[in-house]
Amino acid sequence: MALGPRLDLRQSQSLVMTPQLQQAIKLLALSNLEIETFVGDALETNPLLDAGQVTRENDDGGPNDAGDETPEPATSDDLMAAGAGEADAPLDIDTGALDRDRDTGDWSAQMSSGGAEDLPDLENRGEDEITLAAHLDAQIGAAAPDERTAFIARHLIGLLDEAGYCTAPMREVAGDLGVPIADVEAALEIVQTLDPTGVGARSLSECLALQAIEADRHDPCMKVLIANLDLVAKGAFAHLRRICDVDEEDLADMLNELREYDPRPGLQFGGGVGAAVVPDILLTNGADSGWDIALNEATLPRLVVNRGYYLELREGCAAKDAKSWLSEKLADANWLIKALDQRQKTILKVAAEIVKQQDGFFRNGVSELRPLTLRTVAEAIEMHESTVSRVTSNKYLHCDRGTFELKYFFTSGVGGGADGEGASAEAVKARIKALTDAEDPKKILSDDKLVELLKAEGFDIARRTVAKYREASGIGSSVQRRRAKKIAAM
């Protein structure tokens, strides 16, 4: 059969990602603080938009304008009634389209102490907290002998990690700056003289040695001890006494002094990137043992269309281009107001289902945290997993037990118990930590014993799973815990 070119007409359907649809997807993934910034930019670029008063939502999820005391600004619906409907374009955002798309992309409250002991702390750092880099930079001027060394030292300060360690290879730093490696090492020595003592170290041994030198305790015996921290971790005290040439009492004194040093001196200061976490969703106890879920209105601005200004501009628009520009701005304003309203309803819908699924957690703590997946929530609210994923990104929920990222409530399930449902991985980790913390130093629990205790409590999991969760929680093996508690008891 001969091959030849030809023209065919085909009809098909596909999802068109219009600019407005793409923007709606981005809005869904933004937090309230990011939305506040976005709205601020929109107010600057669109003269028809005004920041209205924040209003509570009524029972049907729509805005309650009954308490709005500002008569002049009006919403897009008011503007339609005033005769400006010809400029209102339809909202180019479809919930179904969002579901089908697979592109993944100051408020404070007093926290209750009930049940908080078994939950991870959420460290909130103030924006005005001094950082390690700023603290060290302020000392460089007096410590460096010349401007060249000060410049290299400030560059090294910028490379320190949050614990204060310098992990960058000196040769690479010298190559980046185009200076001899000897100059970089000299600048590092300057950094290591700064407060807090131990910053700029390239290893744990060097960090502890700097602090021993500062305390005038870096004698030959301490030097050998610091150089053999691996033996300290293993609890090889007999070997340490022999290589340090000290008796048991002197070794105990050296170990006690070593424990007083700070292995992470940089953590005394903020990292400069942590900002106070502001919750997007507020959860409080409601009537009839239920829950009240609301968006944090303190960081959620309300947009309205300035009706008077629009009518004034429309009367003064004679040119066709001016009318077209005004119609475009009005359509953009209407779309943004509707898109933000849709975003709020979607967030509340997802949050309500999460609270429903994790009701035991909010009432009794992490021990009753259930296994939960995005698919489970998506099927319950009839949305796509990608939509739920966007809603739970960068969103925080505040309740009596603290402030948690929505992603925290999605955990894998392990060890089907008596109810056949299984337990949350976080709940298992919390229980393992509680058992190891309460164990008798003379009767350290092995992984096999932990399996037995967990099975007695309804957690039917394998030994390798216990070992994996134990290591993930930073809990040492039975041998390591026995040695560590022996050292602590000395």
* Torsion angle (degrees, nearest 10) of CA 128, 132, 137, 140: 140
Q: Tokens at residue 213, please?
A: 């030198």
The position carrying tokens 């390798």 is: 464
pTM for this entry: 0.51
DSSP 8-class letter at 282 = E
Nearest to 299 by CA among 5, 30, 118: 30
pLDDT value of residue 429: 83
pLDDT value of residue 275: 53
Residues of the chain with pLDDT under 50: 54-128, 272-274, 417-420
pLDDT value of residue 283: 92
- Range 16-34 burial, b when 16+ CB lie within 10 A, else e: eeeebbebbbebbbbbbbe
What are the residues facing 397 on neighbouring strands? 281, 404
pLDDT value of residue 350: 93
pLDDT value of residue 278: 83
pLDDT value of residue 354: 93
pLDDT value of residue 410: 85
pLDDT value of residue 206: 92
pLDDT value of residue 102: 38
Q: Is the peptide bond before 196 cis (omega within 30 degrees of 0)?
A: yes
